[in-house]
Amino acid sequence: MKTYLPLVIVLVLATAYGIWWKRSRGAIRSTKAIPGHRLTEAVLGEPLGSRATMVQFSSAFCAPCRATHALLSQMVVPMADVKHIHLDAESHLELVRELDIRSTPTTLFINKDGIEVGRAAGTPKREQVLAALAAIR
């Protein structure tokens, strides 16, 4: 006896989820920042950028993390006032929990005072990064 309904339901829901997921990858969203929470040099282990900093959380053997690292580290080369800090999520679990980071790569965009203004899950596109950085005063 053949039943097509479960298959249809699964495919419809999975497709909807897949489309949403694909579109949300790399998008910089500002809804998760904890008000007043500051990421300082003491917490991150490195000095912040003079205007903005991109803090990327990666895991081992995560292919999108490599791509993100390659993109961001290369983008900051000509930017004197922006830094790219790269952290291993597993060795910073306290911070990961505090910031509620759920997947890697997750890149936090923070201003010179260490306040998060947005974050991106997945590999952002160059234009998205430029736009996010330009918005940080």
Partner 1 sequence: MSEILEKPEVQKIYIDARGPRFSASITTLVLALALVTQNKWVLVAQGLVFLIGATRGPQFTPYGLLFKKFIKPRLKKEAPTEDVRPPKFAQAVGFGFALVGAIGAFSGATTVFTVAVGFALAAAFLNAAFNYCLGCEMYLLIVRFKTK
- Shortest distance (Å) from residue 99 CB to partner 1: 11
Determine the size of the site formed for partner 1 (CB under 8 A): 40
Structure tokens at 105: 């790569």
Q: With CB under 8 A as the contact rule, which of the stretches 5-13, 28-36, 45-53, 110-118 interacts with partner 1? A: 5-13
Of 107, 62, 65, 58, which is closest to residue 83 (Cα–Cα)? 107
Please, which residue, 11 or 131, has the CB nearer to partner 1? 11
Compute the distance between CA of residue 111 and CA of residue 94 in angstroms, rounded to an integer.
21
Q: Which residues pair with 115 in a beta bridge?
A: 38
* Touching partner 1, residues 43-102 (CB under 8 A): 58-66, 69, 73, 86-90, 93, 96-97, 101-102
Neighbours of 34 (CB within 10 A): 11
Rg over CA atoms, the chain: 17
Write out the H or E segment, with its range, that includes residue 117. Answer: strand 116-121
Please, which residue, 96 or 108, has the CB nearer to partner 1? 96
Please, which residue, 76 or 136, has the CB nearer to partner 1? 76
Interacting residues toward partner 1 by CB under 8 A: 1-4, 6-7, 9-11, 13-15, 17-19, 21-22, 58-66, 69, 73, 86-90, 93, 96-97, 101-104
